[in-house]
Amino acid sequence: MPDAKRPDLDELDWSPERRSESLTRIYDHAVGLAAAKERWYANARRRNRRWAQTLRVASILLGGVAAVIPILAEIYTDGGKPVIPAGWAAIAIAAAVTLVGLDRFFGFSSAWMRFMAAELRVARLRHDFEYAWESARAEATARPADGVVIDALRRAHDFVVGIDETVADETSAWIADFQSTLTTAEQKFKHTP
């Protein structure tokens, strides 16, 4: 995942007259990070959804074709020979299984689900952070006291760490899924004559 573009946090000024401005920069930084992660997951989710649905629908259609071919071979004959040889059913089944295998190997369906879950989690974290921040802001004065500033910084820190944990969890799930797929593929190739 590319780094999210967000406001720079260098040189924050925590003097009493500049605290509000520095807190605004912290807020913009944290919410900008969340929004960038949400956009990334939304875009990646859509791409994987399209591939997953295409491969799975094509597989289902080929399975249906495979089921119908033997029936059509019995119904449509020319001089006692089937117009459509029943052997085409095996080819349709093999193609359907291949499409499901491609989906599993490239992880389109599983990535679609992981990305959707991660996007929703980041959005929930962002919503919670935004409301908590605004609630604290409503209680604060024009020049927030030390305790208010420290609480706001802790809240922003926890929010950003929560986003990082979401990304790390999704990435760990991807690694486990990918390793499992590779192991399964290797075992199948070892047992293939």
pLDDT tens-place string over residues 92-143: 999 999 999 999 989 999 999 999 999 999 999 999 999 999 888 877 766 7
Query: Which residues neighbour 116 within 8 Å (Cβ) at sequence distance 6 or greater?
Result: 41, 45
Return the ∠ at Cα 10 (arms to 9 and 14), rounded to 5°: 85
**Assign residue 122 a region: left if phi > 0, alpha if psi is -120 to 50, beta otherwise?**
alpha
pTM of the full predicted structure? 0.74
Per-block average pLDDT, block size 10, for the chain (193 residues)?
56 86 92 95 95 97 96 91 93 96 92 94 95 84 80 91 93 88 76 66
